[in-house]
Chains A and B, each alone.
Chain A
Amino acid sequence: MSSAFLHDALIYLACAIVFVPIAKKLGMGSVLGYLLGGIIIGPFFLGFVGEEGKDIMHFAEFGVVMMLFLAGLELEPATFWRMRRLILGAGFLQTAAIIGACFCLFLVLGFNWQASLAIGLALSMSSTAIIMQTFREKGLTKTQSARGALAVSLFQDVSVIPILALLPLLAVTTLVKTSDGPAPLIEGMPGWAQTLTLLVAANAVLLAGHFLFVPFLRFIARIRLRELFTAAALFIVIGTAYLMIRVGFSPALGAFLAGVVLATSEFRHELESDIEPFKGVLLGLFFIAVGASVNFSLMMTNPVTILGLVFGVIAIKAVITGITGRLFGLSFDQNMLFTVTLSQVGEFAFVLFAFIHQLHILSASWTDIMMGVTATSMALTPLLLLINERLILPYFGTKESVETKSHDDISGGNAVIIAGFGHFGSTIGRFLRANGITATILDNDSDRVEILRKMGFTVFYGDATRLDILKSAGADEAKVLIAAIDSPEINLELIDRVRKEFPKLEVMVRAKSRLDAYELLDAGMENIYRESLDTSIRLGVDVLIKLGFRRYSATRAGQNFFRYDEASLRKLAAHRHDRESYIFKTREQIELQEQLLAGDRDVMTNVHDDAWNGDGAKRGS
């Protein structure tokens, strides 16, 4: 291993460690942190990496390859089918309109029609990575805008395949040798033959997936060596990518196809959980590389061109996306979010531009400029999101808070604050309201906020972890805060914030699972409510009743089990950190299950219960 490689790795990792926490602290989201870090360590500022810009793109390409494999893996046909109306409707409409608009723009700018069309196709892509990361971090994955954005990006992901197949048809001249190493297969072929070859190659990957990869993975899985399975998965990804390079196409496309094939196999979840720890790191790497590849010297020489293109493209995409959102019935807030998250040019554009350049549709300098436009637009997205969130939505969209008529006499005043009004929080809210307790609600789904306000609830709209929102919701005077947010990470963040800033406020928290409960116990929480525990036990009690148990005995058995399970939660939580492997959540989950099942055998909750053994007891004589 060369020290140069370690040097680079060290710089990338240090960059992530330094800049992401800063960005998070400033409330900007991790994507912007990675991008800023990349820009700063890149050739233009500190010059730690990529003196010739070559190493960076290697890193970036590998990141893209892995990411597309995962994107393919997430393309489950069932999801696709369920969202077909949105994907084919909104996705097609938005993408086609943007291709058309960009095509016209570049025709007007003086490009020939082939180049204009190719550029339009590439620029129509949005960044799935940014979209997913943004919605997940904000805990908004269940909103209308997230569904819409996901649908559109799914459509774009899939359409990359036909686009890559069609691009050779636009080539003015045939492909010439561009890379080192053995010459690609399609070198020197006419455009139609290249298209044909690509279709054959793509189908070959799909067929190989079914008849080669899956049996191969089954064989490996039987050996029961986890690391071997991970190695096999990587082998498939890298192997497919390599073959695609040899044929002369994008390695990212190969990885994407391999992912699509494996998405339907029984190994999907296994692969996902294996690659999960790497996924975040690879995505980070990718964003750093994007940041580092922003060519500032090019921008310095053509600032007007690049900035003009960036804002022009973002404006075109935003307007068209906004209209699409309108047509599909998104409310203002949701549509703004939908529009901003889809307004950048995505990672697929790097792949497409590289290919377009290979095909000589676009000159080297224009390719560089377009890559710069892409990277810049990605870098701007988190900023636009921030502007949207802080400057646009508060004034034009759903207000963060609504001044109540009786604002003067009761200042906030509610004793209970519910953060997160999804299915969990809403039940609590309804129950409290039925008992005459009005709670102040914090939620970040604008559609829900609108409805709740119409129903007369006091609702504060926005990120519940923000100090100013907590303050205006009355966290200073309230007695109880219920942390019922869907995302465990955001819940934890909220708890930390509340305990630091409002130590007198009693916090009661929803835990999604036993593992969440452990983390909450570790954080020093007392009032922890696992969301599925009561329901599961209640169902179990009803099973006993259906099997002929007396209702009262079954109910007591359930109550005993509940008490026992709560006690064992606290007992096992203390021992948890003795184990080495607790980083791997899935594995920990299984071990936990085993521990629990073993323990349950010793505690048959009702069998040894001798209460009321009236008839048999020797009472009196």
Chain B
Amino acid sequence: MNKVLILFAHPRFEKSKTNSVLLAGADKIDGVTLHDLYEQYPDFNIDIDREKELLTRHDVIVWHFPFYMYGAPAMLKQWMDLVLEYNWAHGSRGNALKDKMVFNALTTGGARASYAANQLNRFTIREFLVPFEQTATLCKLIYLPPFVVHGTHLLSDQQLAMHATLYQRLLAQMVAGAFSVEDVCKYEYLNDWLAEFRG
């Protein structure tokens, strides 16, 4: 059984309907820890030892954040810069995260179609996420495709509830760990994998 750590970064969580619905049941799933970074470190002074210890205790890491200006909120960048230390997370002696899994969970206002060449956003989500992918690789992590909720401001309550159920299923799958990494990595989004995995 895997242990899943959701590193959630949202500077205005109280105003985010999408994320509150997505995360409502998440930490009730056995084996899932929700770690709310803005709530833990309102002054950006991240407790590095504590974060390392959390990472060590978990097998799957989720970088969960709203996709602001094509990237992560400042807190998550701060977290990555401070916690993923040389010779701990990367470097010749940095094997602390070796073979753990990591993926992004994003919410974004833009529709999936708008993230493409010749479209408004000009690049795909996967292209925008290249720095995360390479950071994961540098840290010897296994980088899985992202879980993305598109068009958040247009979602009906019903659609939103479906996304939340999907996310919780994903987390449960991650805990169970009964999947082949190679299979999963063939998909662009984890959403796609889930859609086929259980029709």
Contact = CB atoms under 8 A, between A and B. Distances in A.
Interface string B65-101: 0111000010000000000000000000000000000
B16 A615 contact: yes
B15 A615 contact: yes
B153 A618 contact: yes
B115 to A, nearest CB: 8
Closest 7 interchain pairs by CB? Answer: A620-B110, A555-B42, A551-B42, A552-B38, A552-B42, A612-B12, A619-B109
Contacts of A612: 10-12, 15, 66, 68, 73
B107 A620 contact: no
Interface in A586-621: 611-621
A189 B109 CA distance: 100
Nearest to A541: B42
Interface in A544-590: 549-555
15 contacts: A551-B39, A553-B11, A554-B42, A555-B42, A612-B12, A612-B68, A612-B73, A614-B16, A615-B19, A615-B107, A615-B109, A616-B153, A617-B153, A619-B110, A621-B120
Given A612-B66, A615-B153, A621-B120, A553 B110 contact: no
Contacts of B2: none
A615 B18 contact: yes
A382 B49 CA distance: 60
A611 B42 contact: no
Nearest to A548: B14
Nearest to A545: B42
B114 interface: yes
Nearest to B107: A615
B103 to A, nearest CB: 20
Contact of B38 (A551, A611, A618, A620): A551
B28 interface: no
A620 B12 contact: no
A553 B114 contact: no
B15 A613 contact: yes
Given A552-B39, A611-B11, A615-B66, A620 B73 contact: no
Contacts of B19: 615
Interface residues of B, number: 30
Contacts, number: 71
Contacts of A617: 109, 153
Interface in B1-55: 10-19, 38-40, 42-43
A612 B107 CA distance: 13
Given A614-B12, A620-B111, 17 more contacts: A550-B38, A551-B39, A552-B11, A552-B39, A552-B42, A553-B11, A611-B11, A613-B15, A615-B66, A615-B152, A619-B109, A619-B110, A620-B110, A620-B114, A621-B110, A621-B111, A621-B114
Contacts of B115: 620
Contacts of B18: 615
B160 to A, nearest CB: 11
B121 interface: yes
A554 B73 CA distance: 18
A616 B18 CA distance: 10
A549 B39 CA distance: 10
B124 interface: no
B188 to A, nearest CB: 18
B191 interface: no
B135 interface: no
A617 B68 CA distance: 11
A550 B14 contact: yes
Nearest to B17: A615
Contacts of B66: 612, 614-615
Nearest to A550: B14
**Most B-side CB within 10 Å, residue of A551, A617, A619:** A619
B14 A620 contact: no
B116 to A, nearest CB: 11
B165 interface: no
A156 B73 CA distance: 69
A621 B151 CA distance: 7
B108 interface: yes
Interface string A59-103: 000000000000000000000000000000000000000000000
Contacts of A615: 15-19, 66, 107, 109, 152-153
Contacts of B152: 614-615
B64 to A, nearest CB: 14
B16 A620 contact: no
A550 B42 CA distance: 9
**Most B-side CB within 10 Å, residue of A551, A612, A617:** A612
Contacts of A550: 12-14, 38-39
A560 to B, nearest CB: 13
A511 B93 CA distance: 52
Contacts of B12: 550, 553, 611-614
A620 B112 CA distance: 10
A616 to B, nearest CB: 6
Contacts of B109: 614-615, 617-621
A614 B38 contact: no
Contacts of A616: 15, 153
Nearest to A609: B12
Contacts of B40: 551
B148 to A, nearest CB: 12
A613 B68 CA distance: 10
Contact of A620 (B11, B42, B108): B108
B128 to A, nearest CB: 12
Contacts of A554: 42
A552 B11 CA distance: 7
A620 B121 contact: yes
Contacts of B153: 615-618
B8 to A, nearest CB: 12
Contacts of A555: 42-43
A533 to B, nearest CB: 17
B69 to A, nearest CB: 8
Contacts of A611: 11-12
Nearest to B18: A615
B176 to A, nearest CB: 30
Interface in A510-567: 549-555
Nearest to A619: B109
Interface in B108-154: 108-111, 114-115, 120-121, 152-153
B14 A549 contact: yes
A358 B67 CA distance: 94
A555 to B, nearest CB: 4
**Most A-side CB within 10 Å, residue of B18, B68, B109, B110:** B109
Nearest to B119: A620
Contacts of A613: 12, 15
A619 B152 CA distance: 10
Contacts of B67: 614
A613 B13 CA distance: 10
**Most B-side CB within 10 Å, residue of A555, A613, A621:** A621
